[in-house]
A and B are shown apart, each in its own frame.
Chain A
């Protein structure tokens, strides 16, 4: 295949992944033989595998999906083809056997997943060396990442840390039973807190932060510190064997002791808005862990605290004066994206007559692709002018939180808030590239394809992490949530945790959505 680069004469010798306790060295006996031939074979095998992964994940899928049969006929298939590890052929499943017996090439790569097939085992083989490369490619798009550099740094500077006995003696190993899956008791109309806490608990960045003593409650002196309460909660969820529900007393007292008023009308018995609690908790945790500055709404605020690293992104709004075509940019930080459903659901309702379904992408498009008209004071014209304003995402956060504004004010005799029950379809996998200013630049340039764009799209791919659902009316109801642990979804209803199907999750009428960027996981 011409697309694959010729093996460069690299002096670098590739190494088979070092053996790990509790893991075999190779995927199968046949790969073991391949790797043990000589260094040159190992080098070419790994180089070829990397080249194949690049052609699968960084190019147009047409390339790996097109195979050439023995009689010279070129076929492009939707179903997987097999790329030979030892020569540049792409084969269909049927031709694979013929190719193997003719050339005695035994290893092939599945064109849709990058998995390695061993013909002698007649099975897919999961070799530690190859699998590490594959996962890195899928995740970050590169084979060597910063993390490895970091590890190397550690190796030279601190040999003690690399000693496995040092690590085992200084780490508390949680029991196999503790999985982080516990309900939280409802302390009396606190389900709005529970759902947000659950989504924090299953947020990998926050989890790693707190479990690696990012904020240690034993050294913090702030009375009724909410971050300490979070730390205690993470420890309880991930270190204890308890499967009973959790009593979030510390969180609750921290909430009541906090100077910040989370809600205008704070009455214990009253049900509150989960989104407001999310904002409250995020700001409170920022204050405990961050630079101490209060985040101002509408401004650009950068901070290195865990909350900013996790949730905050940046929006750029561009205002173009219709008179002088002068452009002004304004950048502001955002904790979450708030998507109004009001207009869209009405529009849809008219168009399709029936109460139409919306998709999350449509809502995002409405906000971050389309422009709207506004009036503003233009500096050039020094007068009020009609202008076009467009908002795009300048920097995407690691965890993207989206609020679907499921409420509207009904005009008419008795003006009051009403809930919008329109279902909004949201995907398990969300590509945010079209809503960023880079994505916009690409689409306006018109040219598509190229390695860079695949990498860019990959860096903008998000996986659904948790969903907060409100059931009931606008002023009263109940919050439940769904969170993902690995590939399994769980439904959290206060202290109850149950298994959930993907279809349960996707059919729910989401209020808050949390997506995590794929390159992290």
Chain B
């Protein structure tokens, strides 16, 4: 605090009243000096960044110019030429500044890609329209806009209905129609509106929407979570009163994603129940997409099972599939087969697997009549299948 100033500091902003007591004046002066220092430090920082960036820009420009004049021998990183621009001199491989780069240089070039930097955000606070004729460095100023992130992106609201639909679309990565549809909906939105992505579970290799990933992995890898308790509850109910799955109001089709090793082979009744519920669910499923996917994964599993274990309940399914591959003859039982075959066709690996040993499957299928499956239930199932099969077969696209 200079003594002659008396009632104020260097900034001269915080001024005590004329008649203020000396301590009062002193404290005003100290505060004023501190304010000066704050502004000084801020200014120094901005000044440093800006001036160094401009000085480097001047250097980059003159170096570029030097290189372009000796284009024939451009392998030399330090061409022996003398070049002068408004801002800098290039001589003996060195760059010397001319004048103050803050005055002589107006733009800032990126030191990495040597393209001009965009100096204003393209949207939000302080935005300016960039010159469309200029290719800018890809590093843009960050955007400050309510509801948008620093890149000007925003996200589709993951509403409950939409979220579910998304999941269903992306359940099967091999299904050619689902990514196509994803693109279609993306086209409807502006490019800065993003949707939630999906990721593959490393254990079961299924594609899961990111918002469900933790839940899925908890069940798939960690063997915990909602599905575990549900599966346990179902096991209990299966054990106590077999064949009561018709009344089960939780669609087990939604749990099919989690492979439960051992459980299938051990309880053929449950297998049947699953199939039944699955089909029943499909019949009132308005979206054929879903239908395509579900039997797909189901049949795959079943085949694997049939190869490894001789679980009786699987024979019927396999036989049905195999016969539909070989002949077009339709038996009531083959409705089921048609159903699954039509859906399975798009997927490549499965048909080859099927075609590998049709005879074996037929043989296995022959054992079918001795199945211990509950007759009444089966009848009901066939009825259901008949009611829906014609539509499905004749027109696989929308119904």
Using Cβ atoms and an 8 Å threshold, which residues of chain B touch A123?
A: 51, 100, 102
Within the complex, what minimum Cβ distance (angstroms) separates B181 from chain A? 19
* Chain A residue at minimal CB-CB distance from B145: A498
A499–B33 contact, CB under 8 A?
A: no
Within the complex, what minimum Cβ distance (angstroms) separates A111 from chain B? 11
Q: A113-B41, A175-B138, A498-B149 are in contact. Are A26 and B97 (CB under 8 A)?
A: yes
Using Cβ atoms and an 8 Å threshold, which residues of chain B touch A249?
A: 199-202, 210, 213
**Which B207-241 residues sit within 8 Å CB-CB of chain A?**
210-219, 221-222, 224-226
Tell me if B340 is interfacial: C-beta within 8 Å of chain A: no
Within the complex, what minimum Cβ distance (angstroms) separates B255 from chain A? 15
Within the complex, what minimum Cβ distance (angstroms) separates B392 from chain A? 34
Q: A29-B99, A80-B40, A113-B44 are in contact. Are A22 and B56 (CB under 8 A)?
A: yes
A499–B142 contact, CB under 8 A?
A: yes
A253–B202 contact, CB under 8 A?
A: yes
Q: A23-B95, A78-B37, A187-B210 are in contact. Are A244 and B224 (CB under 8 A)?
A: no
**Residue from B1, B41, B211 within 8 A of A188 (CB atoms):** B211
- Which of the 9-residue segments B108-116, B287-295, B350-358 touches chain A? B108-116
Q: A176-B112, A244-B194 are in contact. Are A190 and B214 (CB under 8 A)?
A: yes
* Chain A residue at minimal CB-CB distance from B217: A256
A269–B44 contact, CB under 8 A?
A: no
B150–A490 contact, CB under 8 A?
A: yes
Tell me if A32 is interfacial: C-beta within 8 Å of chain B: yes
Expressed in whole angstroms, the Cα–Cα distance for A249 and B41 within the complex equals 44
Within the complex, what minimum Cβ distance (angstroms) separates B25 from chain A? 15
B47–A124 contact, CB under 8 A?
A: yes
A28–B97 contact, CB under 8 A?
A: yes
**Residue from B144, B150, B218 within 8 A of A256 (CB atoms):** B218
**Residue from B77, B97, B199 within 8 A of A21 (CB atoms):** B77
Tell me if A19 is interfacial: C-beta within 8 Å of chain B: yes
**Which B81-108 residues sit within 8 Å CB-CB of chain A?**
88, 93-100, 102
B199–A24 contact, CB under 8 A?
A: no
Interface string of A65-96 (1 = CB under 8 A from B): 00000000001011110000000000010000
B97–A268 contact, CB under 8 A?
A: no
A253–B201 contact, CB under 8 A?
A: yes
Within the complex, what minimum Cβ distance (angstroms) separates B60 from chain A? 5
* Chain A residue at minimal CB-CB distance from B211: A188
Using Cβ atoms and an 8 Å threshold, which residues of chain A touch B210?
A: 185-187, 247, 249
Q: A22-B111, A183-B149 are in contact. Are A79 and B10 (CB under 8 A)?
A: yes
Within the complex, what minimum Cβ distance (angstroms) separates B256 from chain A? 18
**Which B285-330 residues sit within 8 Å CB-CB of chain A?**
none
Tell me if B339 is interfacial: C-beta within 8 Å of chain A: no
B149–A186 contact, CB under 8 A?
A: no
B138–A79 contact, CB under 8 A?
A: no
**Which B105-147 residues sit within 8 Å CB-CB of chain A?**
110-113, 115, 137-140, 142, 144
A188–B151 contact, CB under 8 A?
A: no
**Residue from A24, A115, A121, A498 within 8 A of B44 (CB atoms):** A115
Using Cβ atoms and an 8 Å threshold, which residues of chain A touch B214?
A: 187-190, 252, 268-269
* Chain B residue at minimal CB-CB distance from A243: B151
Expressed in whole angstroms, the Cα–Cα distance for A113 and B42 within the complex equals 11
Within the complex, what minimum Cβ distance (angstroms) separates B209 from chain A? 9
Within the complex, what minimum Cβ distance (angstroms) separates A132 from chain B? 12
Tell me if A181 is interfacial: C-beta within 8 Å of chain B: yes
A176–B139 contact, CB under 8 A?
A: yes
**Residue from B59, B197, B225 within 8 A of A185 (CB atoms):** B197
Using Cβ atoms and an 8 Å threshold, which residues of chain B touch A253?
A: 201-203, 217, 221
A181–B150 contact, CB under 8 A?
A: yes
* Chain A residue at minimal CB-CB distance from B203: A253
A29–B151 contact, CB under 8 A?
A: no
B221–A256 contact, CB under 8 A?
A: yes
* Chain A residue at minimal CB-CB distance from B117: A176
A28–B100 contact, CB under 8 A?
A: yes
Secondary structure of the A contact surface, majority rule: loop
Interface string of B229-271 (1 = CB under 8 A from A): 0000000000000000000000000000000000000000000
Interface string of A308-326 (1 = CB under 8 A from B): 0000000000000000000
B9–A78 contact, CB under 8 A?
A: yes
Expressed in whole angstroms, the Cα–Cα distance for A75 and B3 within the complex equals 9
Q: A29-B96, A253-B201 are in contact. Are A187 and B222 (CB under 8 A)?
A: no
**Residue from A24, A115, A179, A488 within 8 A of B88 (CB atoms):** A24
Tell me if A428 is interfacial: C-beta within 8 Å of chain B: no
Tell me if B2 is interfacial: C-beta within 8 Å of chain A: yes
Expressed in whole angstroms, the Cα–Cα distance for A487 and B46 within the complex equals 11
Tell me if A438 is interfacial: C-beta within 8 Å of chain B: no
**Which A247-300 residues sit within 8 Å CB-CB of chain B?**
247, 249-250, 252-253, 256-257, 266-269
Tell me if B52 is interfacial: C-beta within 8 Å of chain A: yes
**Which A484-508 residues sit within 8 Å CB-CB of chain B?**
487-488, 490, 495-499
A268–B151 contact, CB under 8 A?
A: no
Within the complex, what minimum Cβ distance (angstroms) separates B226 from chain A? 7
A244–B197 contact, CB under 8 A?
A: yes
Within the complex, what minimum Cβ distance (angstroms) separates B223 from chain A? 9
Q: A115-B48, A247-B210, A267-B225 are in contact. Are A25 and B96 (CB under 8 A)?
A: yes
**Which A22-77 residues sit within 8 Å CB-CB of chain B?**
22-29, 32, 75, 77
**Which A362-390 residues sit within 8 Å CB-CB of chain B?**
none
A252–B97 contact, CB under 8 A?
A: no
A224–B202 contact, CB under 8 A?
A: yes
Using Cβ atoms and an 8 Å threshold, which residues of chain A touch B137?
A: 176
Expressed in whole angstroms, the Cα–Cα distance for A252 and B63 within the complex equals 48
B218–A22 contact, CB under 8 A?
A: no
**Which A185-231 residues sit within 8 Å CB-CB of chain B?**
185-190, 224
**Residue from B1, B52, B151, B198 within 8 A of A78 (CB atoms):** B1
* Chain B residue at minimal CB-CB distance from A25: B94
**Which A464-500 residues sit within 8 Å CB-CB of chain B?**
487-488, 490, 495-499
Tell me if B16 is interfacial: C-beta within 8 Å of chain A: no
A32–B10 contact, CB under 8 A?
A: no
Using Cβ atoms and an 8 Å threshold, which residues of chain B touch A21?
A: 63, 77
B226–A269 contact, CB under 8 A?
A: yes
Expressed in whole angstroms, the Cα–Cα distance for A80 and B39 within the complex equals 12
Using Cβ atoms and an 8 Å threshold, which residues of chain A touch B55?
A: 23-24, 27, 126
A499–B225 contact, CB under 8 A?
A: no
Using Cβ atoms and an 8 Å threshold, which residues of chain B touch A496?
A: 149, 155
A268–B217 contact, CB under 8 A?
A: yes
A23–B151 contact, CB under 8 A?
A: no
A487–B45 contact, CB under 8 A?
A: yes
Within the complex, what minimum Cβ distance (angstroms) separates B123 from chain A? 13
Tell me if A347 is interfacial: C-beta within 8 Å of chain B: no
Tell me if B153 is interfacial: C-beta within 8 Å of chain A: yes
Give 9 closest A-B pairs by Cβ, nearest first: A268-B218, A177-B138, A187-B213, A249-B199, A256-B221, A78-B33, A268-B225, A188-B214, A187-B214
26 CB contacts below 8 A, A to B, read: A19-B94, A22-B60, A22-B63, A23-B56, A25-B96, A27-B97, A28-B100, A29-B98, A77-B10, A78-B9, A79-B33, A113-B44, A176-B110, A185-B211, A187-B212, A188-B214, A188-B215, A189-B214, A224-B202, A249-B200, A253-B201, A253-B203, A267-B218, A268-B226, A269-B218, A269-B225
A185-B196, A241-B138, A497-B151 known; 17 new pairs, CB 8 Å cut-off, are: A27-B97, A78-B9, A80-B37, A124-B48, A177-B138, A185-B197, A244-B153, A247-B198, A250-B202, A256-B218, A256-B222, A266-B224, A268-B215, A268-B216, A268-B226, A269-B215, A487-B45
